[in-house]
C-alpha cells in the first residue's frame, strides 16, 4: 500500500446520499473524495425518477388530449414519437455526469472513477491505487431483486427500459409496484400493449386499497392488463419472442420485452465488505441509529444500501446522507426520522400517501375516523376530464389530529406535501380547514376533505 492517498472522508456512490454527504463534509473543511463505478449522478437523475418523469410527462399530455376530445379544445389525433422522446430525455441525462463532476471540483472534492473495494477497515482499493480515510460512507444504492426462476436473466431492467430506442409492441412488467405501474403508463400511452403480472392480491399494496381500486380501473381503461394472484415462473424464447409462463395457470404470455419491476435490494456486492469488517446481510449494511456501521465505527452508510427503516426514496437517501455527514463532523447526535414520509406513484392519475392507513391505526389500537370520497365531479378533476379521483383522510376519533392522508387525482403529488407538513407540525384538521388557499386550485380542495 505504498503511495496511499489520505482523506478525511470518502463516499462510495455519487447518488443523492453520497453527494449530499460529501458536499456537507467539504463545506466543513474536510478533505474529501467520492468514487463511483458508473457515470456520476446516481440512479435518481440518470436512471430513475428524473428521466422517468420526462417519459411520464409525455404520457400525461397524451392522456390529457385523449380525455379532452369533443370538448371544443382539440380536434384530431396525437401520438407519442418514442424515439424523439428518448432523445429529449437523453438531452437532459447526458449532461448530468459532467455537471456533477464540475460542481464537485468547484468545492475541491476529488472525484474518482472505478470500483471501490475495502483493503482494510479504513482503506479502499480502486484499480491499482489505495485511498485511506478517517471515515468512509457506503452509498452504493440498490439493484433489482434476484428472482428465482429459469430465464430470469432474460428480463430487462428499468435502466434498459429508460434507454429504449424503439418501443416494443408488447411488454410484460413483472411486479405490481412503483416501477411496473409507472413504466406501464408511459408504454401504453406510446402504443405498446402493456401487461402487469403481480403475485399479490392487488397492486401497490402499500397504498390505500380503495384509491388503488380506482387507479386500477383507470389503468385498465387505458389499455393496461393487470394480472394479480399470479407470478412469472419461467421465461423461454421463441426466436425474438419471449414466452412468460405463469405459476397459477397453464397460460403463457408472448411478448417482445419483459421488464423486472418486482422490487430492489441493497447493493452490497463487489466491495469486499468482509475485508473492511463492515457488517451486512441480504437486507443491507447494518447501521445503528446514527447511520454508523455496527461493526466498523469508521464506516457509515446511507440510502438504499442500508438496513435502515427508511423506504427506497431519493428524499430519504438525501436525509440519511446529510445525517451521516453531520454525525461524522460533530459526533453521533442526529437520528433520522422515518415517520410520516410522503410517497407518490406517478401514475395517471397520480396516487399520493402520507401517514397512517386504516389498517395501521387499527393495528396500533387507535380509535379513528376515516373519510373517503370519489371526486371526479369536483372542479379540479372535471376541468381536465379526470374520471378517476378521490381521497381518504384518517383522523383521531375526536377529529383533532390528522393521522393520514391519501389522494388520487390531479396535483395530488403537490397537495400531499401540505398534509405532510400539517401532520408533522401537529396542525389540526380545523386549523387546516380554516386556512385561506388560492382558488381554484387542487390545494383549495383540502377545505372539503376535512
Domain locations along the chain: 5-48+88-144+265-330, 152-262, 349-449
Enter the pTM of the model.
Answer: 0.94
**Annotated binding residue 176:** yes
> Rounded distance, CA 331 to CA 74, Å?
61
Say if residues 178 and 171 touch (Cβ distance below 8 Å): no
**Annotated binding residue 310:** no
260 vs 71, 179, 181, 183, 233, CA distance in Å?
39, 8, 12, 11, 13
**Annotated binding residue 179:** yes
Read off the C-alpha cell for 3.
503511495
Residue 334, φ and ψ in degrees, nearest 5: -95, 140
Residue 380, φ and ψ in degrees, nearest 5: -55, -40
> Rounded distance, CA 100 to CA 105, Å?
9
| pLDDT score, position 1 | 63
**Annotated binding residue 263:** yes
**Annotated binding residue 319:** no
Q: Do domains 5-48+88-144+265-330 and 152-262 have the same CATH topology?
A: yes
**Annotated binding residue 280:** no
| Residue among 346, 340, 355, 352 at smallest CA distance from 415 | 352
**Annotated binding residue 165:** no
The helix (run of H) or strand (run of E) holding residue 317 is: helix 314-330
**Annotated binding residue 76:** no
Say if residues 443 and 414 touch (Cβ distance below 8 Å): yes
> Rounded distance, CA 450 to CA 448, Å?
6
Say if residues 8 and 133 touch (Cβ distance below 8 Å): yes
> Rounded distance, CA 23 to CA 321, Å?
10
Residues counted in the chain: 450
Read off the C-alpha cell for 356.
397512517
- Topology annotation, domain 5-48+88-144+265-330: FAD/NAD(P)-binding domain (3.50.50)
**Annotated binding residue 175:** yes
Say if residues 355 and 214 touch (Cβ distance below 8 Å): no
Say if residues 205 and 181 touch (Cβ distance below 8 Å): no
> Rounded distance, CA 246 to CA 230, Å?
6
**Is the domain covering 152-262 a CATH 3.50.50.60 domain?**
yes
Q: Which residues contact 308 (CB under 8 A, 6 or more apart)?
A: 284, 287, 291, 320, 336, 338
> Rounded distance, CA 423 to CA 341, Å?
10
**Annotated binding residue 376:** no
Say if residues 389 and 410 touch (Cβ distance below 8 Å): yes
Q: What is the CA radius of gyration of the chain?
A: 24
pLDDT in tens, the chain (450 residues): 668 999 999 999 999 999 999 999 999 999 999 999 999 999 999 999 999 999 999 999 999 999 988 787 766 778 999 999 999 999 999 999 999 999 999 999 999 999 999 999 999 999 999 999 999 999 999 999 999 999 999 999 999 999 999 999 999 999 999 999 999 999 999 999 999 999 999 999 999 999 999 999 999 999 999 999 999 999 999 999 999 999 988 889 999 999 999 999 999 999 999 999 999 999 999 999 999 999 999 999 999 999 999 999 999 999 999 999 999 999 999 999 999 999 999 999 999 999 999 999 999 999 999 999 999 999 999 999 999 999 999 999 999 999 999 999 999 999 999 999 999 999 999 999 999 999 999 999 999 999
| Residue among 174, 151, 142 at smallest CA distance from 161 | 174
Angle among Cα 379, 350, 425 to the nearest 5 degrees reads 85
The CATH number of domain 349-449, selected from 3.30.470.20, 3.30.390.30, 1.20.120.350, 3.40.640.10: 3.30.390.30
Say if residues 312 and 23 touch (Cβ distance below 8 Å): no
Burial 228-258 (b: 16+ CB within 10 A, else e): eeebbbebeeeeeebbbbbeeeeeebebbbb
**Annotated binding residue 125:** no
Amino acid at each position: 500500500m505504498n503511495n496511499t492517498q489520505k482523506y478525511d472522508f470518502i463516499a462510495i456512490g455519487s447518488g443523492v446520499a453520497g453527494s449530499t454527504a460529501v458536499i456537507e463534509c467539504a463545506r466543513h473543511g474536510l478533505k474529501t473524495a467520492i468514487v463511483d463505478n458508473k457515470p456520476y449522478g446516481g440512479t435518481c437523475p440518470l436512471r430513475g425518477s428524473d428521466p422517468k418523469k420526462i417519459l411520464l410527462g409525455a404520457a400525461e399530455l397524451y392522456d390529457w388530449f385523449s380525455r379532452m376530445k369533443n370538448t371544443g379544445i382539440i380536434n384530431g389525433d396525437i401520438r407519442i414519437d418514442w424515439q424523439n422522446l428518448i432523445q429529449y430525455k437523453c438531452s437532459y441525462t447526458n449532461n448530468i455526469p459532467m455537471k456533477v463532476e464540475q460542481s464537485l471540483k468547484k468545492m475541491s472534492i476529488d472525484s474518482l472513477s472505478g470500483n471501490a473495494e475495502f483493503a482494510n477497515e479504513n482503506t479502499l482499493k480502486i484499480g491499482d491505487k489505495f485511498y485511506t480515510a478517517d471515515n468512509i460512507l457506503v452509498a452504493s444504492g440498490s439493484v433489482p431483486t434476484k428472482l428465482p426462476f429459469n430465464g430470469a436473466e432474460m428480463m430487462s431492467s428499468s435502466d434498459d427500459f429508460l434507454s429504449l430506442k424503439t418501443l416494443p409492441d408488447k411488454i410484460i412488467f413483472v411486479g405490481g409496484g412503483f416501477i411496473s405501474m409507472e413504466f406501464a403508463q408511459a408504454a401504453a400511452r406510446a402504443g405498446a400493449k402493456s401487461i402487469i403480472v403481480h403475485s399479490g392480491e392487488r397492486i401497490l399494496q402499500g397504498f390505500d386499497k380503495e384509491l388503488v381500486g380506482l387507479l386500477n380501473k383507470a389503468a385498465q381503461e387505458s389499455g393496461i392488463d393487470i394480472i394479480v394472484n399470479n407470478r412469472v415462473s419461467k421465461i423461454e424464447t421463441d426466436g425474438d419472442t419471449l414466452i412468460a409462463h405463469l405459476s397459477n395457470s397453464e397460460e403463457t404470455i408472448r411478448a417482445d420485452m419483459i421488464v423486472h419491476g418486482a422490487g430492489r435490494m441493497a447493493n452490497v456486492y463487489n466491495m469486499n465488505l468482509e475485508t473492511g469488517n463492515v457488517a451486512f446481510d441480504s437486507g443491507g449494511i447494518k447501521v445503528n441509529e446514527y447511520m454508523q456501521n455496527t461493526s466498523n465505527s469508521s464506516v457509515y452508510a446511507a440510502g438504499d444500501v442500508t438496513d435502515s427503516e427508511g423506504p427506497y426514496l431519493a428524499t430519504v437517501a438525501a436525509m440519511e446522507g446529510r445525517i451521516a455527514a453531520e454525525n461524522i463532523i460533530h459526533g453521533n447526535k442526529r437520528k433520522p426520522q422515518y415517520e410520516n414520509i410522503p410517497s407518490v406513484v406517478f401514475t395517471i392519475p397520480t396516487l399520493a400517501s402520507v401517514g397512517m392507513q386504516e389498517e395501521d391505526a387499527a393495528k396500533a389500537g387507535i380509535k379513528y375516523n376515516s373519510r373517503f370520497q370519489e371526486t371526479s365531479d369536483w372542479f379540479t378533476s372535471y376541468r381536465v376530464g379526470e374520471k378517476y379521483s378521490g381521497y381518504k383522510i384518517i383522523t383521531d376519533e375526536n377529529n383533532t389530529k390528522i393521522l393520514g392522508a391519501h389522494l388520487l387525482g390531479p396535483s395530488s403529488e403537490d397537495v400531499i406535501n401540505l398534509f405532510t407538513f400539517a401532520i408533522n407540525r401537529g396542525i389540526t384538521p380545523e386549523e387546516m380547514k380554516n386556512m385561506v388557499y388560492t382558488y381554484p386550485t387542487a390545494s383549495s380542495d383540502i377545505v372539503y376533505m376535512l
